[in-house]
Amino acid sequence: MSARERVFAIVRAARRAFVEARSEALVAALAVESGLSPEGVVLALDRVLEHDADEHAIARFVAKAPARTAVSVVLAANVFVAPLRAIAWALAHSGRVTVRTSRRARLFTAQLLASAPELVENVVHASQSDDPGTDLESLVAALPVGGALHVYGGEGAVAAARRATAGREDLAFDPHGPGFGAIVATAEELAAHADDVAFDVSVFDQRGCLSPRVALVLGGGDALGSLADALGRFGERVARGELEPATRAELRRAVDAATFAAGARVGAHYAVLALGRASALPLPPAARALALVEVGERQGAIDLLRAHAHALTSIGAPRAHHAALAAAFPAVRLAELGAMQRPPLDGPVDRRAWP
């Protein structure tokens, strides 16, 4: 089976499992495991999962992947649909793929692979022990010369994988770590695209590396009310999942700070935090909470974002700002508002080069 056929098979399996044969029981189970509401699960499956990639997109996707003898993939748990792209990317490299899921998110991957019987000789869903470090060492030890390790997760997971591969110069190491998204727009543009911003913020309850956590408001102005209203309307249709106690406490502190600074609007499923001018980017917790920071002009936004460039994964902005932002951040994904969470199937979501 060619690389293109392998990738097409896993995309087709995603469509079968999560669109054509999707059941209420599956949605409920994914909601329990992911912490999203059932409505949030359906939103991600319908609007974000790359189940509709066509043959031309897949051909371009495969063309970017260097051939490997084998690939081991270590998955994270924050975005429950992310295993599709990660496994597809590995299959573009090799017909021999081993996948290790997070202990907190196994269901999506298990269902995906069960719906791809034609790939049973190509993909192994690795068993897990009680020691993640031992599991990682076993994955690395099993890779032949010319293989690759793809790691998705937090800084700790990336650092552990780097240590595990330190003695294997024959392997390629492809890490994808934590990050955040930002929005750059005027107050008028934010108001005009408030519903689009609400979608970008709300998908996955803001846990993904493409999720916008801060909006840089060019020229200042009031965007608080329009964004709060849009997030409130969105939350009525797609509820936020339950927050962990630590996240709830962190959100409360962020709301208090914004109330003191320039104002806050908080609803059952969102928070918009106006912080006025700031010399840094105070990121609120991943709880559908969007911080608004005023900057004088676009260069001011670029300067603030450059200070966080190591963690910046995505920028959402109206098209008029794209050329300047692309020149300043060539490794960062650019999207129009409303499309930040729906990048084309063109390789890993994270385009940053990790040291």
Which uninterrupted H or E stretch holds 196? helix 194-202
Confirm if 93 and 174 have CB atoms less than 8 A apart: no
What is the rounded distance in angstroms from the CA atom of residue 53 to the CA atom of residue 71?
22
- Identify the pLDDT of residue 43: 97
**CATH 3.40.605.10-classified regions of the chain:** 3-176
CATH number of 180-335: 3.40.309.10
Helix (H, G, I), strand (E, B) or coil at 280: coil
- Identify the pLDDT of residue 355: 54
**CATH 3.40.309.10-classified regions of the chain:** 180-335
Please tell me the pTM assigned to this model: 0.94
Can you give the pLDDT of all 355 residues of the chain as single tens digits?
A: 999 999 999 999 999 999 999 999 999 999 999 999 999 999 999 999 999 998 899 999 999 999 999 999 999 999 999 999 999 999 999 999 999 998 889 999 999 999 999 999 999 998 777 777 788 899 999 999 999 999 998 888 899 999 999 989 999 999 998 999 999 999 999 999 999 999 999 999 999 999 999 999 999 889 999 999 999 999 999 999 999 999 999 999 999 999 998 899 999 999 999 999 988 888 999 999 999 999 999 999 999 999 998 899 999 999 999 999 999 999 999 999 999 999 999 999 988 876 5
Q: How far is CA 44 from CA 34, 50, 230, in A?
A: 12, 10, 19
What is the rounded distance in angstroms from the CA atom of residue 102 to the CA atom of residue 118?
24
CATH number of 3-176: 3.40.605.10
Quick one: tokens of 75?
């998955």
- Identify the pLDDT of residue 199: 98
- b/e map of 313-326 (b: 16 or more CB within 10 Å)? bbbbbbeebeeebe
Nearest to 246, CA basis, from 289, 187, 205, 287: 287
Quick one: tokens of 196?
């689009």
**Which amino acid is present at 131?**
D
Quick one: tokens of 22?
């999707």
Eight-state DSSP code of residue 108:
H
Nearest to 151, CA basis, from 63, 68, 88, 90: 90
Helix (H, G, I), strand (E, B) or coil at 96: coil
User: What is the strand order of the sheet 289-295 is part of?
Assistant: 263-267, 270-277, 289-295, 212-218, 180-186, 312-316, 333-335
- b/e map of 228-265 (b: 16 or more CB within 10 Å)? bbbbbebbeebbbbebeeeeeebbeebbeebeebbbbb
